[in-house]
Amino acid sequence: MELIPTEIEGLLIVEPRVFGDERGFFLESWNRRTFAQLGLDLDFVQDNHSRSARGVLRGLHYQQPNPQGKLVRVVAGRAWDVAVDLRAGSPTYGRWAGVELSAENKRMFWVPPGFAHGFVSLEDGTDFLYKCTASYDPANEHSLMWNDPAVGIEWPLEGIEPQLSAKDKVGKPLHEVEAFV
């Protein structure tokens, strides 16, 4: 397994070892010991699975208090996954990093606590899996505006009209977000 740093400290692309032959493939998506040896000693408490049609944009979500770290991957279809740094005092506060996750590339993305997270589905039937370090807490869930010009995320939306939930349509701009301490 290889950890690939992004331009934002703490956000990591995880490249699993894939063993394949004419029968298919095998990969280890989570192994506590392996991740700890790589410097990520994580305790996951909840797994989530979502399916999205092409153009569904989910996010940018964060919990405060009770922030979640998320190890995310796509097992069917393709998604553009994004995290925005909301950590107070971070030299990259308000900056974003993104990665394409797909069933084909089998990559994962580690989004530590202190980030807003979201994705857009690039294909119908995109299945997205999340391992979370804290339980979902709807009373403390918030949304950062997905298209805030102050953040400037470059969503790959050519020919796609994003479909948003009601709560994501009213996400807050970055200047109204309370930073993580």
The reply to whether 117 belongs to the active site is: no
Residue of 49, 61, 62, 117 marked active site: 61
DSSP labels, 123-172: STTEEEEEEESS---GGGEEEB-TT-TTT------TT---B--HHHHTPB
Residue of 62, 117, 130, 142 marked active site: 130
Residue 99 to residues 58, 132, 179, Cα–Cα distance (Å): 15, 19, 23
The reply to whether 61 belongs to the active site is: yes
Strand runs labelled E in the chain: 2-5, 12-15, 18-21, 24-27, 46-52, 57-63, 70-76, 78-85, 96-102, 108-111, 115-121, 126-132, 141-143
- Residues tagged active-site: 61, 130
